[in-house]
Amino acid sequence: MNARLADLRILHLFANYKWTGPADPAIRAAVHLRRLGLDVVFARAGWTLPGAEHRMDQELAKARLPVIGGLQLSKHFRALPLLHDRRVLAARLLRGDFHLLHAHQPTDHLVAALAKRTAARAGRRVVLVRTLYDPDAPAARWRARLSFRATDGVVVPTQAVKEQVVARFAIPEARILVQEPPTECERAVDGDLRTELGVGREHVLVGITARIQPHRRFELLWEVAARVVRQAPQARFVLLGRGNAEDTENLVRAPIRRLGIERFVVLPGYLHEPAYSRALASLDVFLFLVPGSDGTCRAVREAMAFGLPVVATRRGMLPHILAPDPGAPAGEPAPGVACAEDADELAAAVLRFVTDRELRAAAGAAARGKALRAMNPYHAARDLAAFYHELVTGRDERE
């Protein structure tokens, strides 16, 4: 590792206590940077709703990441917590505690930008990096403009987002790194959950990971399922997700009763690790309709890492994620299919994978290959470390 990087102390900030979409890739980035030898610590939200589970605390502990306290880092903009966090972080920057700040959410980005400006007035240089996770760059409102004016480098998930950042915030192209959100590709999984799910080896399992909410288009999901099982009764649809009692009844149980497909649907609910990985290891195909709060579509990326072919809609980043991998060997197929939001088109795509074992295996291998090449957290950390070096020194370590 470059000696200059080894001397840096790096703080990653994440302004949310919930296990929201960007949380996993943010933690993956910090974990793998530390494995490269960088001195990385993490700042998570000190504020939660009363009695709420601090899931980020749990996941950071599992990842064995060192965590600093003293910052509130609430998700939403609030003037008093913001001023408190700016003061606390600026004091630490002035002491020389951190040389590089890496923000992952809008509020922590603003906190870091304000603290950096305070430190700069006292002659202390700090580098600020922001990672974006959505299919579009932020709108150029005053808080975003203020934050990006103090930003030295930006990590974006697609070329399209890079172009938007250049246009909206005048960040030079050389200071933008295009990088797929890192996804853990090597998980030790002890068997699968088929017995627990009550399905046999003769069944072809189509998995769906989604919180049960009205905007996630469950009515379309069950129309697709009804069409598939009419032609392929060996198919079983496995919903990995939960919702409140009313939504579960109205969006799941009542529709599958009305369509007469109850015996073709498996409802294990929300699964924590390691059960969730065992559930993914049980599946044959993955279906994903509407991204929720997670613009990175982490559920799709994780399914691909497990070698599952994916059928999805064309919302958000899904067409990009399921496009053929430019780095793939010649002749490798796409890892999945992005369809119109039409029950017939989606059902036809699912049916092809359900009924054609060879096609399923080839697309699954392509999905796994793309995850290993484009989403590998070790490769992502290595490239991010080189990006840090370039921002700190003004020299491209990759030249």
Which CATH number belongs to the domain containing residue 71 in this structure? 3.40.50.2000
Say yes or no: 144 and 198 in one domain: no
Q: What would the mean pLDDT of 124-136 be, rounded to a whole number? A: 96
Is there a domain that residue 189 lies in? no
For residues 388 and 337, membership in a common domain is answered with no
360 and 256 inside one domain: yes
Task: Give yes or no for a contact between 373 and 327, defined as CB atoms under 8 angstroms apart.
Answer: yes
Dihedral pair phi/psi, residue 238, rounded to 5°: -110, 110
Which of 43-47, 123-127, 213-217, 356-360 comes out lowest in average pLDDT?
A: 43-47
Predicted confidence (pLDDT) per residue in 137-182, tens digit: 999 999 999 999 999 999 999 999 999 999 999 999 999 999 998 8
- With CA atoms as reference, report the closest residue to 305 among 380, 370, 210, 350: 370
Domain count, the chain: 2
Q: How would you list the strands of the sheet with 176-178, edge to edge?
A: 67-68, 39-44, 9-14, 100-103, 127-131, 153-156, 176-178
Tokens of 387: 């990006």
* Cβ–Cβ under 8 Å, residues 47 and 75: no
Same domain, 322 and 388: no
Across the strands, what pairs with 233?
A: none
- Same domain assignment for residues 230 and 362: yes
Please determine, for residue 398, whether its predicted confidence score (pLDDT) is greater than 60.
Answer: no
- Supply the mean pLDDT for the chain: 92
In a domain, residue 148? The reply is yes
Same domain, 254 and 381: no
Q: Are residues 177 and 282 in the same domain?
A: no
CA distance 304 to 366: 8
Q: Are residues 200 and 177 in the same domain?
A: no
291 plus 359 within the same structural domain: yes
Residue 105 lies in a domain: yes
Domain ranges, residue 334: 194-374
Query: pTM for the full model?
Result: 0.90
187 is a domain residue: no
pLDDT higher than threshold 60 for residue 293: yes
**Measured between alpha carbons, how far is 387 from 395 in angstroms, rounded to an integer?**
9
Two tokens at 19?
A: 């296990």
Q: What angle do CA 69, 73, 79 make, to 5 degrees?
A: 125
